Amino acid sequence: MKTIVWFGFVLGAVSAAGSVIYTTAQSKVTLNCGVKSFRRSLVWYHGGEMVVRIDGRSGIQRRGMTDVASRARAKQDTKLEISGVRQEDAGTFTCEVDGTNHEHTLAVVSVSASPTDEVELGTSVTLQCRVNGQSPGSTVQWMRPDGTTAAGTESGTVELRSVASSDAGTWKCVINPDGLTVDLKLKVKVIYTTPQSSVTLDCGVRSFSTSLVWYHGGEMVLSIDTRNGIQRRGETDIASRARAKQDIKLEISGVTQEDAGTFTCEADGTKHEHTLAVVSVSASPTDEVELGTSVTLQCQVKGQSPGSTVQWMRPDGTTAAGTESGTVELRSVASSAAGTWRCVINPGGHTVDLKLKVKVLGAVIYTTAQSSVTLDCGVRSFSRSLVWYHEGEMVLSIDGRSGIQRRGETDIASRARVKWNTKLEISGVTQEDAGTFTCEADELKHEHTLTVAPATTPEPEPGVTTAAGTESKTVELQPVPSSDAGTWKFIINPGGAVINVKLAVEVLGAVSAAGPLIYTTPMSKVTLDCGVKSFRRSLVWYHEGEMVLSIDGWSGFQRRGMTDVASRARVKQDTQLEIFHVRQEDAGMFTCEADGTKHQQTLAVISGQPQF
């Protein structure tokens, strides 16, 4: 009588003579002695050599000197567990309990594909199923991925002389009469490439005697006659970009999307097929975007195998959800989106990279000639590199790994130095230093505009009056008369020099007498001060009555509001609110409520460019 017993994925046939237990190479298997307990001793043998001995009185275990003994251990007293199973472990295991023997047969099954389990169309591969220690009379048979039996495989061997697409999938080695199956996945390799690159296809033969012809979609690309050595080129576009390489290979230059598909190499009448897939990645409208704007990343695969999938990986290594269509839509780009996005094509795990650069627009920085000025990159740290540019020309670069600095060739570069790794200090400022400074930290870009005024103070224009008490850059209008509307002239004092700046001012929102009026410009950065040094319970910032940010005084926990301005705001030094990329809509009343006490201030957003 036979009983079929499952041990996980291992199936054993148990008979009066013991049991045959099947397992696979490199796996773990447990043999059961067949008794519940013992009094004097229990000893496991393999092929007559001791593996493990357990003394029933003291519980002391003694291990044998064989290789299998070094990988075996007693489990629950009466079982033997073997790790890292090898082909040599197959055979008879005897469990001797208080003088009584119990025999078990271990059969080790191994499946393999030679030369590899990932092959190209048209090449050859051999599948092998070996069973060491199998019972007399048992047979081996291969089942194809479609469930049909592969004829002539009773020896455990399948030879595929020219692999077809239908050969891809799970092959099953079936061991009868026990019905045990062991799986082997055969992957038919697709050759991936990108537009404008070069790719080489290998026919899959070592040589040919009469002729070799390459076809693409049924149309001839190139033919070689070995008798006279003459090569003949086809009439298609791809044929004009193809050439024979080492006789049996085809090299295609300037790959296009239309090149995707099936290539057939016919050598002496025998056909070998290859699949070329062309992967293109793109960012629309551009791969260099500003913070807060939108961008769409697209990964298109032409010629991919049925059932293959596309997935985007973020720069931090996480999977971007909902991107199986190959599309990522970033509606409001954050600084964390900067870096290398990876399009992953499965199965096979082929990847194509796309670098997305995020540009942060900084404030306008004012200084005077002959002074020193410091520009802040806007990042705390960087991993690979940080480079400063002035109007597109390099000023200074720092290697994040070695710390080595490299200086540019311009005049401004000779007067610049790195300060605290992420800042740039320029000495002896000249009028020519004015313009755009870009700090590129890894894939994140921060732009700053430097405005340089003359060292001398221009005379004020006739009829222009100065607003007294505005050295703090704050104008308090209590109340605001209609005469204040129109063009204001601001006098800015950086570094002790007086600079006359003519600005067209548009005040948006109602100005309250309860707090100061703070001026800023679109796309700049502004900081609002609550007016308290500390708080105990809570501090909450509001904009026109809607919450921007709240801080819990006990836990320090911060909660962000749902408005647009809230998405661009952060707490600074606990009691200040910093707003990035100021917009016209940000103008209006900001209220800071600290422990129940309200402090109000009005933000006015200025449109126009300064004129000296």
**Stretch (H or E) spanning 568:** none
The pLDDT score that the predictor gives to residue 511 is 38
The pLDDT score that the predictor gives to residue 509 is 37
The pLDDT score that the predictor gives to residue 549 is 92
The pLDDT score that the predictor gives to residue 506 is 37
pLDDT digit string, tens, across residues 429-445: 999 999 999 999 888 88
Per the DSSP assignment, residues forming a β-bridge with 551 are: 539, 558
The pLDDT score that the predictor gives to residue 13 is 31
With beta carbons less than 8 A apart as the criterion, state whether 364 and 451 touch. yes
Q: Does residue 9 carry a pLDDT above 80?
A: no
Q: What is the mean pLDDT of residues 411-417?
A: 93
pLDDT digit string, tens, across residues 266-299: 888 877 778 888 999 999 988 888 777 888 999 8
Q: What is the mean pLDDT of residues 394-403?
A: 91
The pLDDT score that the predictor gives to residue 612 is 38
Question: What number of other Cβ atoms are within 10 A of residue 549's Cβ?
Answer: 20
Q: Does residue 484 carry a pLDDT above 50?
A: yes
Backbone angles phi, psi at 145, to 5 degrees: -55, -25
Closest by CA to 609, choosing from 501, 527, 519, 513, is: 501
Which domains are assigned to the chain? 20-109 (2.60.40.10), 191-278 (2.60.40.10), 285-360 (2.60.40.10), 362-453 (2.60.40.10), 515-605 (2.60.40.10)
The pLDDT score that the predictor gives to residue 221 is 92
pLDDT digit string, tens, across residues 194-234: 999 999 988 877 788 888 899 998 899 999 887 777 889 99
**Stretch (H or E) spanning 414:** helix 411-414
> What is the strand order of the sheet 199-202 is part of?
199-202, 249-252, 242-245
3-state secondary structure 19-48: EEEEEECCCCEEEECCCCCCCCEEEEEECC
The pLDDT score that the predictor gives to residue 488 is 56
3-state secondary structure 422-441: CEEEECCCCHHHCEEEEEEE
Q: What is the mean pLDDT of residues 554-575?
A: 87
Confidence of residue 491 (pLDDT cuts 50, 70, 90): low
Higher pLDDT, 166 or 413: 413
Buried b (16+ CB within 10 A) or exposed e, 210-248: eebbbbbeeebbbbbeeeeeeeeebebebbebbebeeeb
Q: Does residue 589 carry a pLDDT above 50?
A: yes
With beta carbons less than 8 A apart as the criterion, state whether 172 and 142 touch. yes
Most confident by average pLDDT, 53-67, 296-310, 382-396: 382-396
With beta carbons less than 8 A apart as the criterion, state whether 424 and 388 touch. yes
Q: Does residue 237 carry a pLDDT above 90?
A: yes
Percent of the chain with pLDDT over 90: 24
With beta carbons less than 8 A apart as the criterion, state whether 127 and 113 touch. yes
Q: Does residue 512 carry a pLDDT above 60?
A: no
Closest by CA to 249, choosing from 206, 205, 291, 203, is: 203
Q: Which of 24-38, 127-141, 432-446, 546-560 has the lowest mean pLDDT?
A: 127-141
Q: What is the mean pLDDT of residues 91-102?
A: 88
Higher pLDDT, 472 or 89: 89
